[in-house]
Amino acid sequence: MSGVPRIDIAPLVAAAPSSAVTTAERASAAAMDAACRETGFFSIVGHGVDPALRARLDELSREFFSYPDDEKVEIAMARAGQAWRGWFPVGGELTSGVPDLKEGLYFGSELGAEHDRVCAGTPLHGANLFPRRPARLREVVLAYIDEMTRVGQAVLVGLALGLGLDRSWFVDHLTADPVVLFRVFHYPPSPTDTPGVWGVGEHTDYGLLTLLGQDEARGLQVRTADRTWVGGPFEPAAFVCNIGDMLERLTGGRYRSNPHRVRNTSGTDRLSFPFFLDPSWDAVVDRLPIVERPADGGEAERWDHTSVHGFTGTYGEYLMAKVGRVFPDLASTNLADERVDPA
């Protein structure tokens, strides 16, 4: 895909939190800043994630999805209650009210019953649901979440520097205790005789930053500034990064949370591994003092004709309103008393 740069983040990964900013870090940050202004997408290398960990995650995920649904349902999302973790079947997740052609596993930070947010009954917090087999999926998923959290925080250092902020700005203000969400998605091949069927339809991501691992089947499509769709980049060792609604909100629209979608036309099964590093649950996300809020709120330009600037409240409130539309049946059971519409 033209216009999506490949950025080496090794200087950002290696830097100590209190060290002076190097020329190499500034170069990585400038490349990120340019990408976020243009498409909201870039790919990263130099992240330091062990290829063996990624390969093991792929292998174990494929094994899980190969089992019959009556075994996978043992960890169905309904069993996790408001923790919002576990498996959903093909068609079980909606995008703009339309069922997606995918099944998946939802994970997040592993929190025990003694955690303050779990004790308080905070939605989307709690223990993960892991399957009986493959038994090693638990340890691999938790190791992967730790690694991706590390990488995501390094990318946010680059974005802070690109915006002219202190390197620790995001940790100091938004991500000291981030909402961490991780998904494993299995996309069956799309039927060739029904081109309007999507693995996931047009959407933007809700939070700050998404880091996507994917297999060779590809399938990601990104909307360009002229409203055409192009195939997303793929490189086995890289992660594709895109920014979410909260970075568009923070920057007053300087950075765009760009629409994207997925259709698996490879003829084979596709796996993807999106990791979301989002603001702390109680964070109030407002625009940076270095930017102006758009006069029209951005509704006319947004894919869903809503504005990321037009709500008040915490990130947790914004997130609950969004996820409630993705799984309406679960939301009616678990989030009925908690949802706040951000529009």
Q: Which residue has the higher pLDDT, 290 or 61?
A: 61
Residue 139, pLDDT score: 98
- Give me the mean pLDDT over the 297-314 stretch: 71
Euclidean distance between CA atoms 20 and 167, whole angstroms = 9
Confidence of residue 322 (pLDDT cuts 50, 70, 90): confident
What pLDDT digit, counting tens, does each position of 6-24 carry? Answer: 999 999 999 988 889 999 9
- Whether the pLDDT of residue 94 is over 60: the answer is yes
Q: Would you say 225 and 168 are in contact if contact means Cβ atoms under 8 Å apart? A: no
Euclidean distance between CA atoms 56 and 51, whole angstroms = 9
Output the domain CATH number for residue 296: 2.60.120.330
Euclidean distance between CA atoms 308 and 243, whole angstroms = 13
Residue 302, pLDDT score: 62
Q: Is the dihedral of CA 231, 149, 101, 96 positive or negative?
A: negative
Residue 341 falls within a domain, yes or no?
A: no
Residue 324 falls within a domain, yes or no?
A: yes
Residue 298, pLDDT score: 54
Residue 62 falls within a domain, yes or no?
A: yes
- Whether the pLDDT of residue 72 is over 70: the answer is yes
Euclidean distance between CA atoms 323 and 93, whole angstroms = 10
Confidence of residue 142 (pLDDT cuts 50, 70, 90): very high
- Whether the pLDDT of residue 308 is over 70: the answer is yes
Q: Would you say 106 and 82 are in contact if contact means Cβ atoms under 8 Å apart? A: no
Q: How many domains does the chain have?
A: 1
Residue ranges making up the domain that contains 106: 12-334
- Give me the mean pLDDT over the 48-69 stretch: 98
Euclidean distance between CA atoms 84 and 73, whole angstroms = 14
Residue 243, pLDDT score: 95
- Give me the mean pLDDT over the 56-78 stretch: 98
Residue 303 falls within a domain, yes or no?
A: yes
Phi, psi dihedral angles at 157 (to 5 degrees): -60, -45
Residue 322 falls within a domain, yes or no?
A: yes
Residue 341, pLDDT score: 43
- Whether the pLDDT of residue 342 is over 50: the answer is no
Q: Which of 24-38, 85-99, 101-115, 221-235 has the weakest average pLDDT? A: 221-235
Residue 340, pLDDT score: 40
Residue 249, pLDDT score: 92
Residue 5 falls within a domain, yes or no?
A: no
Residue 66 falls within a domain, yes or no?
A: yes
- Whether the pLDDT of residue 300 is over 60: the answer is no
- Whether the pLDDT of residue 303 is over 90: the answer is no
What pLDDT digit, counting tens, does each position of 155-212 carry? Answer: 999 999 999 999 999 999 999 999 999 999 999 999 887 878 899 999 999 999 999 9
Confidence of residue 112 (pLDDT cuts 50, 70, 90): very high
Percentage of the chain surpassing pLDDT 70? 92
Residue 4 falls within a domain, yes or no?
A: no
- Whether the pLDDT of residue 296 is over 50: the answer is no
